[in-house]
Amino acid sequence: MLQPIDWLVVVLYFAFIVFVGYRTGRGNTGIEDFCLARRSMPWYAIGLSVMATQASAITLVGTTGQGYVDGMRFIQVYLGMPLAIVILCVTLVPFFYRAKVFTAYEFLEKRFDGKTRSLTSFLFLLGRGLADAVVIYAPSVILAIVFGIDEKVIIIAIGLGATIYTTLGGMRAVMWVEMWQMLIIFIGILFCLGSVIVGLPDGVSLTDAIQVAGATGRAETMDFNLDPTVTYTFWTGVCGGIFLMLSYFGTDQSQVQRYLTARSLKESRLALLFSALVKIPMQFVILLTGALLFVFYQFEKPPVVFNPVALERLAQARDVSQLEADYDEAFETRKEAAQNFADALGGPREDEMRRSFLQADADFSGVRSEVLGLIRESEPGFSDTNYVFPTFVLTKLPVGIVGLILVAIFAAAMSTVESELTSLSTATVVDFYQRYVRREAEDSHFLAVSRVATLFWGGFATFCALYMGRLGSAIEAVNRIGSNFYGPILGVFVLAIGARWANGHGAFAGVLLGIVAVQLTARYSEISYLYYNLVGTVVSVVLGYVISLFFASPERSV
């Protein structure tokens, strides 16, 4: 359970965030203030805000777990990001900036027509609206189980907490808050890495630990396998990853809106390039923490399953005493083998000790897999990956630091939620309310409507998160489909700036056909999901262009 000092750290965090939100968010007088901070933000605040938006709580908790269970190969997802950012800085960012738009989709009406803008904005609202509920719900379940806090309290703290200061302070408050949240996340990550390194037993150095992790393949960060069905390889990361990142940073309003707040085009570019340079090293540190956790748990006995509730349910349903005895024995054997291997590194018996360690690790994993298999009989698809890191934090870190890491997880969750809220509200008001309901009104009217829209989306996300247990599969299904929209939407933007003869009819049809192509690819092929955006973009560009040829020449131009 959390100690009073940890609670104090959590309370201080919320007080600080509310204070920053209140101080920086005062004086909004119109919609440009509320949605784009009157285009006045400096690059460093935008850069950290861009990073905070991307780093959700599941990124922090799940990625360390991924490092523990599967190793560091996941880092390859981000290999294409710096290249994608450079492409965007040369292409879309100047177009957005000079067009003085509020949303990425508004640009499409300037170039094509209203229906293309409305379709892409609607797809964004559909995908992100439900994704926001997942962003709140997923960490809440984990924190509730591991830290013993009521799930509903966490959902309300994250969901309504973020909604309140986003509604009151608007984009300026959100971005300054996010800057601090990202700094808290950085501090939390470094504390975690330091804690794991300090927790290694005497005689096992950091380099020894990396080699122990490496012996099991967990330190493998680059895989040059050309097979497109292997999820994480250098090629999927670079080829597929570029399109994934182009789609996310170039067409997702939650990111585009960040760099539209810049006081100049230069500041927009600097912010994006800053986040591009920092992202891979940051993910490396998070994954390394997970891989080193694996080494840490060679010498400290980990729970059989990191989700205590699932383990308790299994123990109530059947007798697991024999499995627990086998697990204890396998752990002691592996502990001894790991110590022998670490001692033998660089010596003549290294290969022999490596083999016996790998055998002991396989035996240990076999017992754990047996237990996981029993849980999956009643809970198909069960995984405890996301519970590894919070369990370590609660059981192994000192009082106060636990509170700090919990705060970093809260910060990661809230920074993503508030970004989604600002972008959802801006797209709702600018792309639909101003477009179809009321084109002309006082600025104060649109400010009030923006606040109502923020409140609506925050309430909607929190409500869905509260009832996620019942609505789970439906929301997840829509969320999964939503993630397939981005490639085709990127295709429309490519048509907009790269194909002079493309027109609204072609672009509109291109998006829809691109979505169909991605769905079919996901259903009938086994290629890595990182390629889906590439497929969606190519289909949407090619078919969008061909269909455009059947209609008149461009109706409008930028």
* Helix (H) or strand (E) run with residue 544 in it: helix 532-549
Q: Which two tokens stand for residue 120?
A: 């892409």
Q: Which two tokens stand for residue 449?
A: 């409507």
* 148 secondary structure, DSSP code: -
Which run of H or E residues covers position 76? none
Q: Looking at this protein, which amino acid is placed at residue 321?
A: S
Binding other proteins by CB under 8 A: which of 197, 210, 448, 471? 210
79 binds other proteins (CB under 8 A): yes
Min dist. Cβ of residue 221 to other proteins (A): 4
Task: Report the alpha-carbon distance of residue 352 to residue 345 in Å, rounded.
Answer: 10
Contact between 222 and other proteins by CB under 8 A: the answer reads: yes
219 near other proteins (CB under 8 A): yes
220 binds other proteins (CB under 8 A): yes
- Token pair listed for 541: 């560009």
Among 160, 273, 448, 471, interactor with other proteins by CB under 8 A = 273
Of 187 and 265, the one with the shorter C-beta distance to other proteins is 265
Check binding of 355 to other proteins (CB under 8 A). Answer: no
Q: Nearest to residue 127, comparing CAs of 388, 476, 463?
A: 476
Q: Is 113 near other proteins (CB under 8 A)? A: no
Selected from 213, 260, 429, 453, the binder of other proteins by CB under 8 A is 213
For residues 423 and 129, give the distance between their C-alpha atoms in angstroms, rounded to a whole number: 10
If the CB atoms of residues 69 and 238 are measured against other proteins, the closer one turns out to be 238
Work out whether 89 is an interface residue with other proteins (CB under 8 A).
Answer: yes
CA distance 449 to 443: 10
| In the complex, minimum distance from the CB of residue 436 to other proteins, in angstroms, rounded to a whole number | 30
Q: Are 7 and 149 in contact (CB under 8 A)?
A: no
Q: Is 90 in the site for other proteins (CB under 8 A)?
A: yes
Minimum CB–partner distance for residue 186 and other proteins (Å): 18
Coil vs helix vs strand at 3: coil
Structure tokens at 62: 């799940």
Q: What are the helix (H) ranges across 76-228?
A: 81-90, 92-99, 104-111, 114-147, 151-199, 206-215
Residues 214, 221: Cα–Cα separation, whole Å: 10
Question: Which one of the spans 1-9, 112-120, 272-280, 359-367 is the region binding other proteins (CB under 8 A)?
Answer: 272-280
Q: Check binding of 221 to other proteins (CB under 8 A).
A: yes
Cα separation of 413 and 21, whole Å? 16
Token pair listed for 324:
């627990």
Residue 415 Cβ, how far from other proteins at the closest point, in Å?
A: 24
Asked if 105 and 257 count as a contact pair (C-beta separation under 8 A), the reply is no
Closer by beta carbon to other proteins, 84 or else 495: 84
Structure tokens at 239: 């080829």
Q: What is the largest CA-CA distance in the chain?
A: 81
DSSP-derived secondary structure letter, 436 = I
Closest approach of other proteins to the CB of residue 134, in Å: 30
Instruction: Give the residue, chosen from 83, 99, 144, 448, that forms a contact with other proteins under the rule CB under 8 A.
Output: 83
Site string for other proteins, 231-270 (x = CB under 8 A): ---x----------------------------xxxx--xx
41 DSSP 8-state letter? B
Query: Does residue 344 belong to the site contacting other proteins (CB under 8 A)?
Result: no
Binding residue count for other proteins, defined by CB under 8 A: 29
With contacts defined by CB under 8 A, name the span among 74-82, 431-439, 479-487, 537-545 that binds other proteins.
Answer: 74-82
274-303 positions binding other proteins, by CB under 8 A: 276-277, 280-281, 284
Residues at the site binding other proteins, with contacts judged by CB under 8 A: 75, 79, 82-83, 85-86, 89-90, 210-211, 213-214, 219-222, 234, 263-266, 269-270, 273, 276-277, 280-281, 284
